[in-house]
Structure 1
Amino acid sequence: MSLILIGVACLLTCLGQVAQKYAVESWRDRPSALLDKLRSPWLWLALASLGLGLLVWLLVLQQLDVGVAYPMLSLNFVLITLVARFVFHEAIDRQHWIGVALVIAGVILLGRQL
């Protein structure tokens, strides 16, 4: 159950980060007042996703030691890298991919403790 909750927390956090990116991208070409920015559905999706992710994370911390649980959030680094590459078409260099592979290896090693 802990792994599922960690996965949900990571996905919600990733969704929140992506929604933040879309929110600021929508603001880029048109300078607008603060109230216009606050009406952005992307901003509200980001806030909701990050808020729900926090609540799920609290459930994770009830079940696992923080020293095991927190490094598992590094999966967000992997997810955001994939989104950056395949959704936003950003260039990702070889060193970055090596870092992603190392993060995945670390998560696998930590996952054996669960």
Structure 2
Amino acid sequence: MSLLLLLVACLLTCLGQIAQKFAVESWRGQSSGVLAKLRSPWLWLALASLGLGLLVWLLVLQRVEVGIAYPMLSLNFVLITLIARFVFHEAIDRRHWLGVALVLAGVLLLSRHA
């Protein structure tokens, strides 16, 4: 159950970050007024996802030691990298992919401890 909550927290946080990116992209070419930007559904999705992610994260911290739980959030780095590459078509260099592989190895090591 703790691992499932941790994955949900990661996914919600990633969704929030992706929605932030879409919100900023949707603002290109718009008026620079704050009220116009506040009407962005992407912005509200980002806020809702990050807020819900925070609540799930608090549940995780009740069940898992912070020294194990927090490094597991580095899965966000992996997920965001994949989304940057395949959704936003951003270039990812070899060093970055090596970092992704090292993060995955670290998460695998930690998950065996939990």
After superposition, the C-alpha distances for 1:24-46 in whole angstroms (9 at most, x for unaligned) are 01112223310110110000000
Instruction: Report the counterpart of residue 107 of structure 1 in structure 2.
Output: 107
Letter in 1 for 2:5: L
- Poorly superposed stretches of 4+, deviation over 3 Å: none
Q: In structure 1, how many angstroms separate the alpha carbons of the residues matched to 2:26 and 2:94?
A: 30
Q: In structure 2, how many angstroms separate the alpha carbons of the residues matched to 1:80 and 1:17?
A: 8
Instruction: Report the counterpart of residue 29 of structure 1 in structure 2.
Output: 29
Structure 1: tracts of 5 or more residues without a match: none
Q: In structure 2, how many angstroms separate the alpha carbons of the residues matched to 1:61 and 1:108?
A: 19
Q: In structure 1, how many angstroms separate the alpha carbons of the residues matched to 2:59 and 2:113?
A: 18
Query: How far apart are residue 11 of structure 1 and its match?
Result: 0.3
How many residue pairs are counted as aligned between the two chains?
Answer: 114
Q: In structure 2, how many angstroms separate the alpha carbons of the residues matched to 1:108 and 1:22?
A: 31
Q: In structure 1, how many angstroms separate the alpha carbons of the residues matched to 2:71 and 2:28?
A: 34
Structure 1 length-normalised TM: 0.98
Instruction: Report the counterpart of residue 75 of structure 1 in structure 2.
Output: 75
Q: In structure 1, how many angstroms separate the alpha carbons of the residues matched to 2:21 and 2:31?
A: 16
Structure 2: tracts of 5 or more residues without a match: none
- Map 1:1-114; keep pairs closer than 5 Å: 1-114=1-114
Structure 2 length-normalised TM: 0.98
After superposition, the C-alpha distances for 1:47-87 in whole angstroms (9 at most, x for unaligned) are 00000000000000000110000000000000000000000
Q: In structure 2, how many angstroms separate the alpha carbons of the residues matched to 1:72 and 1:102?
A: 12
Task: Indicate the RMSD between aligned Cα atoms, in angstroms.
Answer: 0.6
Percent identity of the aligned residues? 80
Q: In structure 1, how many angstroms separate the alpha carbons of the residues matched to 2:31 and 2:85?
A: 27
